C-alpha cells in the first residue's frame, strides 16, 4: 500500500512522538534511580531523611543535579549541608 504525503507525515509524527516518549521515560527512570541511591546512601551516612528532606530530593528533576549531590555526599556530614551545596 502506498502512503499519501499526509499519511507519511502522520506516521513520522507518531514515530517521533514514540521515540520522545521512550527517551523521557528512560530519563525519568534514571532520575528515580538516582534519587533512590541518594536517599539510601544518605540514610546510611546521616540517618533517615526527614519528610522535608525527602520531599526536597524527590522534587529534583535534573539527573545532573542528583549526580552532583551523590558526589557531594562523600564530603558533607548532614542532609542540610548536602542540600545547600551550590547548584
pLDDT in tens, the chain (87 residues): 666 877 766 667 777 676 666 566 677 889 999 999 999 999 999 999 999 999 999 999 999 999 999 999 999 999 999 999 866
Q: At what angle do helices 63-72 and 5-46 cross, to 10 degrees?
A: 20
Residue 5 has what pLDDT?
Answer: 75
Spatial distance between the Cα atoms of 59 and 39, rounded to a whole number of angstroms: 13
Buried-state track 19-44, b at ≥16 Cβ within 10 A, e below 16: eeeeeeeeeeeebeebbeebbeebee
Domain ranges of the chain: 5-83
- Asked whether 3 and 35 are in contact (CB, 8 A), the reply is no
Amino acid at each position: 500500500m502506498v502512503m499519501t504525503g499526509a499519511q507519511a507525515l502522520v506516521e513520522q509524527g507518531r514515530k517521533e512522538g514514540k521515540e520522545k516518549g521512550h527517551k523521557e521515560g528512560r530519563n525519568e527512570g534514571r532520575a528515580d534511580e538516582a534519587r533512590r541511591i541518594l536517599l539510601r546512601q544518605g540514610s546510611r551516612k546521616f540517618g533517615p531523611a526527614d519528610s522535608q528532606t525527602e520531599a526536597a530530593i524527590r522534587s529534583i528533576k535534573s539527573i545532573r543535579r542528583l549526580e552532583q549531590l551523590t558526589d557531594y555526599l562523600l564530603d558533607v556530614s548532614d542532609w542540610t549541608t548536602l542540600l545547600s551545596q551550590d547548584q
